[in-house]
Chain A
Amino acid sequence: MSLLTVDELTVTFTQRGKPDVRAVDGVSFTVDQGEVVGLVGESGCGKSVTSLALMRLLSGRNVKIGGSVVFDGIELLKLRSEEMRDLRGSQLAMIFQDPLSSLNPVVPIGVQVTEILTRHRKLRGEAARKEAAVLLEKVGIPDPTRRLREYPHQMSGGMRQRALIAMAVACAPRLLIADEPTTALDVTIQAQILELLKELVDSQGTALLMITHDLGVVAGLCDDINVLYAGKVVEAAARRPLFAAPTHPYSVGLLNSIPRLDAPRGEPLKPIRGSVNDNIAWADGCAFAPRCDHYTIECLQGPPALTEALTGHRYRCVNPVTTHEPPAVIATEDGR
């Protein structure tokens, strides 16, 4: 059985006097023990909302969540909020996009690390401080005892993200959700942070759900990839088949839009035309149709179903891409 099974998850935002917004529209995927799964898509496709819904961090009367999220045999969406609090931080942990705004500016880093140790591992006082220093050391923060006394604004962006990672892995969670963990960082720091995440999940046996818009990040890290578009998974496959033979025109577009160093000078970039604002409702057909190069009249006859190919490749498209332009190869050093 999978560690995490998300089935037909829907998230709807309601606002009085305005039409409901369905940010996540029936997303299903699984994460196995120790596996790294990518959730990829452009801004506004529902990937962050999905992750917050999994953690039950979307609250308020104007949010409706449907479907099911089963973690280790427990239905998270039906859990009492106190029980969910016990799981958060200990079994399920999360890293966010902007490390500066994600840290409390007026509380020392040390307290922000030890508070989670106190909460879930019952460590107090000196024992908690020692463990916090060990954690900071583990995520590559030099001189950890001094750093524990510092405030977030005294650290660099990379250090802050490392501190957040230290908090997330403090209780050796079984699932770590990383929501665009490198977006706010320099490219050189990005690589270090990804390397660190990879090491940590490998050594702790933690499963990682990587949420990103950056295909370069998934290419180097993920075992399985789910491509999200307008709140639905439009393509799901293991990393190699997805990069070698993307089937959904949106995935193809995403891969083609990566700028390539070997492209001739002056060759224009190839963005996907239009924007998410051009979408049509899934009920009327494929939401991506107005932006799609493979668009046919059939695309407008109801929502496309998820088709499973023999290779295990799943896609939601009535006119998939079959002949490929040279596959976009993104450097990967190992054969995972």
Chain B
Amino acid sequence: MLRFIVRRLLQLIPTLFGLSILLFVWLHRLPGGPEAAILGDRGTAQQRAEIRTTLGLDEPIWVQYGRFMKRLASLDLGTSIQSGRPVTEEFFTRFPATVELALTAMVIATVVGIPLGYLAARRRGGLLDFGAVTSSLVGICVPVFFLAYLFKVIFAVNLGLLPSSGRQTPGIDATHPTGFYVLDGLLTGEFDASWDAFAHLILPGLALSSIPLAIIVRMTRASVLEVLGEDYVRTAEAKGLQENTVRVRHVLRNAMLPVVTAIGLLTGGLLSGAVLTESVFAFGGIGSFIRTAIDFRDYPVLMGFIMLIATTYVLINLLVDISYSVLDPRVRVR
């Protein structure tokens, strides 16, 4: 198992290396550059050239890439052009917000999706099944930003039940040792701050969960239907086991295998930033920062963020593979 983990982590190196080359070429091929974003329309050609020289953008692309890699070797991702702060700092102040949001969405999607998918399969062809399948189709089809606005208008603006934007109500004075606001409140004993942060997570979490929820419902349903027809479920019934034992140990345990993979992949996807949801709720995660970085042609931020997101994605996949081998003894981790 340890060898497996080490090998997978080593595989990360060529993956990130390839990704860095592709990204570097792509980004520098984008029309325009940071000088245009900084100067706007008024800058003279000379001013533009000066900025390009200061940023080192006038050198050949392989020289720039070499410099990037040299810095990377000492875990330095450079400095943001827009803010002048180190890229890693920018990333790690924003990443906790994204993680909190992604986890909230995935918890909602999993906790609702698996039971719903299971029940839909058990009552195949029934009203609940029809409802689950139809609404999951709607969940996939409706754009997230639309849902986000809808939730915001109904629950925050009209009903006033939940906060409409941000991660914390402005007046609250809370310390943030980790950057995960809900966790911070629990650690420092400021439970009201923790609760406030949690309330801020609900609406964006719900909006963001729609697509993963729909996918999990459908996958669970299909998987349970398949397992229900398996011989070992019939064996379990023939043994006269209680319905709950058959349900949990023999049906769900097997049906969960493909769903776990899906949950892992979906989580990875959400961790790369939910631009639309973050924008609607002014949530301030990495997604919205990447969007402004693109406008600004903030090359170091884009490079750094995408590399870090890719690393996260690979790590999540590693976790999925490990949990898979725990859930399914036939899959031997080697």
Interface string of B246-260 (1 = CB under 8 A from A): 000110011001000
Neighbouring B residues of A86 by C-beta, 8 Å: 240
A164 touches B235 (CB 8 A): yes
Neighbouring B residues of A101 by C-beta, 8 Å: 230-232
Interface string of A106-134 (1 = CB under 8 A from B): 11100100011001100000000000000
Report the number of A-B residue pairs with Cβ-Cβ less than 8 Å: 82
B241 at the A/B interface (Cβ < 8 Å)? yes
B241 touches A106 (CB 8 A): no
Complexed CA–CA distance, A111 and B234 (Å):
16
Q: Which of B102-110, B303-311, B326-334 contacts A (4 or more CB under 8 A)?
A: B326-334
For chain A, residues 142 to 176, give those with C-beta under 8 angstroms from any C-beta of chain B.
151, 153, 164, 167
Neighbouring B residues of A84 by C-beta, 8 Å: 240
Neighbouring B residues of A120 by C-beta, 8 Å: 240
CB distance from A308 to the nearest CB of B (A): 34
A107 touches B245 (CB 8 A): no
Q: Which of B234, B239, B250 has the most CB of A within 10 A?
A: B239
B239 touches A104 (CB 8 A): no
B238 at the A/B interface (Cβ < 8 Å)? yes
Q: Among B232, B242, B253, B329, which residue has its beta carbon within 8 angstroms of that of A151?
A: B329
Complexed CA–CA distance, A115 and B232 (Å):
14
CB distance from A281 to the nearest CB of B (A): 29
Q: Among A89, A102, A119, which residue has its beta carbon within 8 angstroms of that of B232?
A: A102
CB distance from A86 to the nearest CB of B (A): 6
Given A106-B327, A107-B249, the answer on whether A119 and B241 have CB atoms closer than 8 Å is: yes
Neighbouring B residues of A74 by C-beta, 8 Å: none
- Interface residue range, chain A: 20 to 34
Q: Among A87, A102, A105, which residue has its beta carbon within 8 angstroms of that of B328?
A: A105
Q: Which of A86, A90, A96 has the most CB of B within 10 A?
A: A96
Neighbouring B residues of A151 by C-beta, 8 Å: 329-330
A89 touches B245 (CB 8 A): no
Interface string of A47-58 (1 = CB under 8 A from B): 000001001010
Complexed CA–CA distance, A115 and B257 (Å):
22
A76 at the A/B interface (Cβ < 8 Å)? no
Interface string of A298-318 (1 = CB under 8 A from B): 000000000000000000000
Neighbouring A residues of B230 by C-beta, 8 Å: 101
Using CB atoms, name the residue of chain B closest to A111.
B249
CB distance from A230 to the nearest CB of B (A): 24
B237 at the A/B interface (Cβ < 8 Å)? yes
For chain A, residues 27 to 74, give those with C-beta under 8 angstroms from any C-beta of chain B.
52, 55, 57
Given A104-B249, A105-B330, A107-B250, the answer on whether A94 and B238 have CB atoms closer than 8 Å is: yes
Neighbouring A residues of B322 by C-beta, 8 Å: none
A119 touches B245 (CB 8 A): yes
Complexed CA–CA distance, A57 and B230 (Å):
13
A116 touches B330 (CB 8 A): no
Neighbouring B residues of A55 by C-beta, 8 Å: 238
B239 touches A87 (CB 8 A): no
Interface string of B205-221 (1 = CB under 8 A from A): 00000000000000000
Complexed CA–CA distance, A101 and B236 (Å):
12
Using CB atoms, name the residue of chain A closest to B257.
A106
Complexed CA–CA distance, A207 and B158 (Å):
71
Neighbouring B residues of A137 by C-beta, 8 Å: none
Q: Which of B234, B235, B257 has the most CB of A within 10 A?
A: B235
B241 touches A57 (CB 8 A): no
Complexed CA–CA distance, A106 and B243 (Å):
18
B234 touches A102 (CB 8 A): yes
Given A104-B254, A106-B254, the answer on whether A89 and B241 have CB atoms closer than 8 Å is: yes
A89 touches B238 (CB 8 A): yes
Q: Among A52, A88, A98, A106, which residue has its beta carbon within 8 angstroms of that of B239?
A: A88
Neighbouring A residues of B236 by C-beta, 8 Å: 104
Q: Among A102, A107, A111, which residue has its beta carbon within 8 angstroms of that of B231?
A: A102
B231 touches A98 (CB 8 A): yes
Neighbouring A residues of B235 by C-beta, 8 Å: 96, 102-104, 164, 167
B242 touches A57 (CB 8 A): no
Using CB atoms, name the residue of chain B closest to A173.
B240
Q: Among B234, B241, B254, which residue has its beta carbon within 8 angstroms of that of A96?
A: B234
Neighbouring B residues of A89 by C-beta, 8 Å: 238-241
B234 touches A88 (CB 8 A): no
Complexed CA–CA distance, A96 and B232 (Å):
10
Q: Among B231, B238, B239, B330, which residue has its beta carbon within 8 angstroms of that of A115?
A: B239
A115 touches B245 (CB 8 A): yes
Using CB atoms, name the residue of chain A closest to B329.
A151
For chain B, residues 108 to 157, give those with C-beta under 8 angstroms from any C-beta of chain A.
none
Q: Which of B230, B231, B242, B249 has the most CB of A within 10 A?
A: B231
Given A96-B231, A105-B328, the answer on whether A115 and B240 have CB atoms closer than 8 Å is: no
Given A151-B329, A153-B329, A153-B330, the answer on whether A105 and B238 have CB atoms closer than 8 Å is: no
CB distance from B118 to the nearest CB of A (A): 17
Q: Among B231, B232, B238, B328, which residue has its beta carbon within 8 angstroms of that of A88?
A: B238
A24 at the A/B interface (Cβ < 8 Å)? no
Given A96-B234, A107-B250, A115-B249, the answer on whether A85 and B240 have CB atoms closer than 8 Å is: yes
Q: Among A52, A57, A94, A107, which residue has its beta carbon within 8 angstroms of that of B253?
A: A107
Extra A-B contacts (5), CB below 8 Å, given A96-B234, A164-B235: A103-B235, A104-B236, A119-B240, A119-B242, A151-B330
Q: Sorted from nearest, which 6 A-B pairs have the closest CB atoms?
A: A89-B240, A88-B240, A101-B231, A89-B239, A104-B232, A94-B238
18 sample A-B contacts, Cβ–Cβ < 8 Å, listed by A number? A52-B234, A85-B242, A87-B240, A88-B239, A89-B241, A94-B238, A101-B231, A102-B234, A104-B232, A104-B236, A104-B249, A105-B254, A105-B328, A106-B254, A106-B257, A116-B241, A151-B330, A167-B235
